[in-house]
Amino acid sequence: MGIFSKLRKPVTPADDKKSEQIKAGEKTQVSATPAAENKPSGKVNAGLLSLTNSKGQEIILRPMITEKSAHLHSLSQYVFEVALRANKVEIAKAIKAMYGVNPIKVNISITVGKTVQRNGRVRGNTSAYKKAIVTLKKGESIKIYEGV
């Protein structure tokens, strides 16, 4: 424990006074320094909430526009490529925040990356991705898909 006590910042009387004021519920003024402005405050921007989860990872990567997804529009279903670690609840919250529609059902499909031969003996892998099929109520739609 001697190592940690050397690394710990000594408490000054001014710091001790601030902690007493905070415990008592008094308001203190904090001066902003340039170093403090660069640090994240821990609050999530309202604009970023639609694209990221609580850990800051992106949820909705892009809409997938294919023949099959175009056919699913008539059934009020929309297809998105999502993050591999995203779950159904996070996807539903992100869709609601981004597009203002309430999904009633979310189906997930994971496509595993495959090994392919590139040139001669060189091998590579295709990317793995997760696809989410979001079902909306009858009459609701997402505007970016209209006319595709």
- List strand residue ranges (DSSP E) for 72-128, in order: 77-82, 105-111, 115-117, 123-125
One-letter amino acid for residue 44 of the chain: V
Find the mean pLDDT for residues 82-99: 93
Task: Determine the pLDDT at residue 61.
Answer: 93
53: pLDDT strictly greater than 60: yes
Q: Report d(CA 5, CA 16) in Å as an integer.
A: 18
Domains of the chain: residue spans and CATH: 44-145 (3.30.70.330)
Question: pLDDT confidence of 122, banded at 50, 70, 90?
Answer: confident
* R_g of the chain computed on alpha carbons: 25
How far lies 1's CA from each of 7, 10, 13, 62, in Å?
10, 15, 24, 51
> pTM here?
0.60
